C-alpha cells in the first residue's frame, strides 16, 4: 500500500539564480518533483553543489522560483511558521536573547502571551533536546552543539508541519554528532512533524531517515527508497552494509 497522505508536494520546481552577469544562467534545479509524506523523516543525500540547500530554501520560501510548492495542498511561496528551517550555522539563534527567550520569542509572535505557559513550553522543549539549566544563559556562553540543540528546540516549539534541516550537525565533532543523531531520532518519533534532513553523511542519512533520496546534478532525484531497516539502526544492523554501499555508489557517479 502506498502512503498517499502527502504533506508536501513539489511540482516542476525550477530555480535559476539571477546573477549580475545575466548570461542566461543554467538552472540549479530543473523540473524537480517530490512528494513527502506526513510524519515522514526524509534524508537527502547528494554531491556538493547539486542544489540540496537551494531546494530547502525554496521550500522555506526564502527564494523565488518557477513551479509550485504545496503544503497540505496550499501554495507556500512565502516563509511561514508551518515550515521552520534549522541551518548549519551555529549562529542562528539570536545572541541578544537568552536561551529560553530565543524559544519563547516566536511563540509570543504567534500570540501566546501567558508567562507561565511560555515558561512551560520552553522548559519542555529544552528538556526534549537534553538541555537543562541553561535557560538564562546567552548563546555566546554555549558550545556549538548546545546552540544547535537550542535551534532545534526553537524550531520544534513553534509546532511547524515541516522542519527543514540543512546539515545541522556537519560542523560538530563525531561524538556530539552521534549523540545529537540519537536525540533527533527520539524526538522525531515523538513529534507530529515531518523532517527533511540534508546531510553528506550516508550513515546519518540511514540512521535517521524513513526514506532516503539521492540528488544529482540539477536536482535530479537519482535514488528514492524507503528505509526498510529496523530501528534503531547501527552499522551492525543486517542490510546496513549493502544499503550504505548502494548510496555510496549512487553518490560516486
Partner 1 sequence: MNKRREEFSDLIVKIVFVAVVLLIWESVARANLFGSRSRLIFPTIGEIGRAFVTNLTIGYAGSSFLIYIANSLKLLIIGLLIGVVLAFVFSGLSMVSRYFYSIYNLVVSVFDLLPGVALLPVVIIIFGVTPGVIVFLVVHAVIWPMSRSVLDGFMAVPRIYVEAGLNMGLSRGRLLFGVYIPAAMSYILSGLKVGWARAWRGLLSAEMIFGLANSLGIGLYINQMRTNLKNAEMYATLIVIVLIGVVVQYGIFAPIEKCTVKKWGMSK
Which stretches of the chain bind partner 1, using CB under 8 A?
60-62, 79-81, 83-85, 87, 89, 91-96, 105-106, 109-110, 138-141, 158
Q: In the complex, what is the shortest distance from the CB of residue 167 to partner 1, in angstroms, rounded to a whole number?
A: 14
Query: Binding residues for ligand ATP, how many (CB under 6 A)?
Result: 11
Strand, coil or helix: what is 221?
A: strand
Q: What pairs with residue 13 in β-bridges?
A: 32
12-41: contacts with ligand ATP (CB under 6 A): 17, 19, 28
| CA atoms of 14 and 67, how far apart (whole Å) | 6
**Residue for grid cell 543523531:** 181
Question: Rule CB under 6 A: is residue 219 a binding residue for ligand ATP?
Answer: no
Q: In the complex, what is the shortest distance from the CB of residue 68 to Mg ion, in angstroms, rounded to a whole number?
A: 23
Answer for the pair 102, 94: CB distance below 8 angstroms, yes or no.
yes
Q: Which of 7, 44, 50, 53 binds Mg ion (CB under 5 A)?
A: 53
C-alpha cell at 60: 522555506
Helix (H) or strand (E) holding 44: strand 41-45
Which segment (49-57, 138-146, 152-160, 175-183) binds ligand ATP by CB under 6 A? Answer: 49-57
| CA atoms of 166 and 199, how far apart (whole Å) | 7
Name which of 68, 54, 62 is nearest 16 in CA terms. 54
- Rounded to the nearest angstrom, the gap between the alpha carbon of residue 43 and the centroid of all alpha carbons in its chain is 8
Q: Could you tell which of partner 1, ligand ATP, Mg ion, none binds residue 156, using a CB distance below 5 to 8 A set by kind?
A: none
**Residue for grid cell 527508497:** 225
- List the x/- string, 51-70, binding to ligand ATP by CB under 6 A: xxxx----------------
Q: In the complex, what is the shortest distance from the CB of residue 43 to Mg ion, in angstroms, rounded to a whole number?
A: 14
Q: Which residue lies nearer to partner 1 by CB, 51 or 61?
A: 61
C-alpha cell at 232: 534503531
Q: In the complex, what is the shortest distance from the CB of residue 19 to ligand ATP, in angstroms, rounded to a whole number?
A: 5
Question: Rule CB under 6 A: is residue 46 a binding residue for ligand ATP?
Answer: yes
Residue with the CB atom nearest ligand ATP in the bound state: 53
Q: In the complex, what is the shortest distance from the CB of residue 198 to Mg ion, in angstroms, rounded to a whole number?
A: 6
| CA atoms of 240 and 53, how far apart (whole Å) | 27
Q: Which residue lies nearer to partner 1 by CB, 45 or 151?
A: 151
| CA atoms of 5 and 236, how far apart (whole Å) | 32
Q: Which residue lies nearer to partner 1 by CB, 33 or 141?
A: 141
| CA atoms of 198 and 136, how far apart (whole Å) | 31
Q: In the complex, what is the shortest distance from the CB of residue 73 to ligand ATP, in angstroms, rounded to a whole number?
A: 26
Helix 144-157 and helix 99-109: axis angle, to 10°?
20
Q: What is the DSSP letter of 88?
A: S
Residues at the site binding Mg ion, with contacts judged by CB under 5 A: 53
Residues at the site binding ligand ATP, with contacts judged by CB under 6 A: 17, 19, 28, 46, 48-54
Amino acid at each position: 500500500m502506498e502512503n498517499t497522505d502527502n504533506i508536501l508536494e513539489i511540482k516542476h520546481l525550477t530555480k535559476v539564480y539571477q546573477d549580475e552577469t545575466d548570461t542566461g544562467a543554467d538552472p540549479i534545479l530543473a523540473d524537480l518533483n517530490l512528494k513527502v509524506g506526513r510524519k515522514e523523516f526524509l534524508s537527502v543525500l547528494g554531491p556538493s553543489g547539486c542544489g540540496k540547500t537551494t531546494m530547502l530554501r525554496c521550500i522555506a520560501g526564502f527564494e523565488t522560483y518557477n513551479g509550485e510548492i504545496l503544503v497540505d495542498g496550499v501554495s507556500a511561496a512565502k516563509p511561514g511558521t508551518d515550515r521552520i528551517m534549522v541551518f548549519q550555522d551555529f549562529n542562528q539563534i539570536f545572541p541578544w536573547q537568552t536561551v529560553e527567550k530565543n524559544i519563547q520569542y516566536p511563540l509570543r509572535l504567534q500570540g501566546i502571551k501567558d508567562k507561565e505557559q511560555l515558561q512551560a513550553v520552553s522548559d519542555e522543549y529544552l528538556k526534549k533536546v537534553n538541555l537543562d539549566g541553561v535557560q538564562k544563559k546567552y548563546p555566546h556562553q554555549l558550545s556549538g552543539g548546545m546552540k544547535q540543540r537550542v535551534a532545534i528546540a526553537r524550531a520544534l516549539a513553534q509546532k511547524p508541519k515541516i522542519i527543514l534541516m540543512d546539515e545541522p550537525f556537519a560542523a560538530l565533532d563525531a561524538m556530539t554528532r552521534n549523540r545529537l543523531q540519537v536525540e533527533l531520532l527520539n524526538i522525531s518519533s515523538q513529534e507530529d512533524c515531518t523532517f527533511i534532513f540534508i546531510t553528506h553523511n550516508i550513515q546519518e542519512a540511514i540512521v535517521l531517515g524513513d526514506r532516503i533520496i539521492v540528488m544529482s546534478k540539477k536536482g535530479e532525484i537519482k535514488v528514492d527508497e524507503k528505509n526498510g531497516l529496523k530501528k534503531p539502526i547501527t552499522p551492525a544492523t543486517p542490510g546496513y552494509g549493502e544499503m550504505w554501499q548502494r548510496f555510496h555508489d549512487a553518490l560516486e557517479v
